[in-house]
Amino acid sequence: MKKNIFIFLAFLSFTAYAQAQEVLINDFEGPKKNYILTWGGGNLGGAEGLVTYDPLWREGNHALRCLTPSAALAELEVSLPAGKKLGDYTAVQFDIMIIDFGDGNNFQLHVGRWNEGSAPGRNGRDLVYNVGRKGDLAQHQWRTVQIKTSDFRAVNSGVDVPAKLAMEGDFKILLGFGTNGGRFFMDNVKLIP
């Protein structure tokens, strides 16, 4: 009897381990200090993605400061564990603090593989989420936002959402608050199982 219980517990432990675990995409605590802010290909003139101290001075914490004279999103690298797909996760989660809304009101998420110098986001070919959420936010306060993978949609024609959810290995996302003239901070970007 004890042997059967041990085998059963070992099976449960293995099953729990085999399920998707939370994946940290970026908490902006590492050595990289500048990030590309992009829209429609290439770095935008005047757009700035700089890692700086948390504006609320949470001790030792850093965040990505995004200044966007024209609509721009942070380009972040994702590395999934072997055998896992984007669709194995329920949400992309991140913390955001809006300093100035500018003219924006939409959270946007693009998922894709593109090389330096190519055009991520051009014509919305990778856009899977573009939803107005301004009412969820107050200026100068951190808020945690989840974009559920079940809410991914082909915002524009030609976006193959099932192919995006089937992505494995390494790829990139463009993430942020779509705004012209806005300023915001982002932190703790992760995938939630």
pLDDT in tens, the chain (193 residues): 555 544 444 444 444 445 669 999 999 998 777 776 665 444 455 566 788 888 787 777 899 888 776 666 788 889 999 999 999 999 999 998 888 877 766 777 888 876 544 555 554 567 788 877 666 677 888 989 899 999 998 877 778 899 999 999 998 888 887 777 778 889 999 999 9
Half-sphere exposure of 176 (CA within 13 A, CB side): 33
pLDDT at 193: 96
Residue with tokens 């003139």: 45
Token readout for 88 is 């194995």
Supply the pLDDT for residue 12.
42
CA distance 17 to 54: 33
Tell which residue, 87, 77, 75, 76, has the closest CA to residue 168: 87
Residue with tokens 């590492």: 30
Residue 161 CA to its chain's centroid (Å): 16
pLDDT of 14: 43
- Map tokens 């949400």 to a residue: 91
Flag whether the pTM goes above 0.85: no
Query: DSSP for 35-74?
Result: E-EESSSSBPTT-EEEEEE-TT--TT-EEEEEEESSS-EE
Q: What is the DSSP letter of 183?
A: E
The pLDDT of residue 67 is 78
Dihedral angle over CA of 148, 149, 155, 159, nearest 10: 170
Q: Please report the domains of the chain, with CATH numbers, ordered by start residue.
A: 20-192 (2.60.120.260)
Helices (H) and strands (E) in the chain, counts: 2, 12
In this structure, are residues 107 and 133 in contact, taking their beta carbons and an 8 Å threshold?
Answer: yes
Spatial strand order in the sheet of 127-132: 37-38, 73-79, 170-178, 106-112, 127-132
**What's the confidence (pLDDT) of residue 174?**
83
Token pair of 113, please? 């593989």
Helix (H, G, I), strand (E, B) or coil at 32: coil
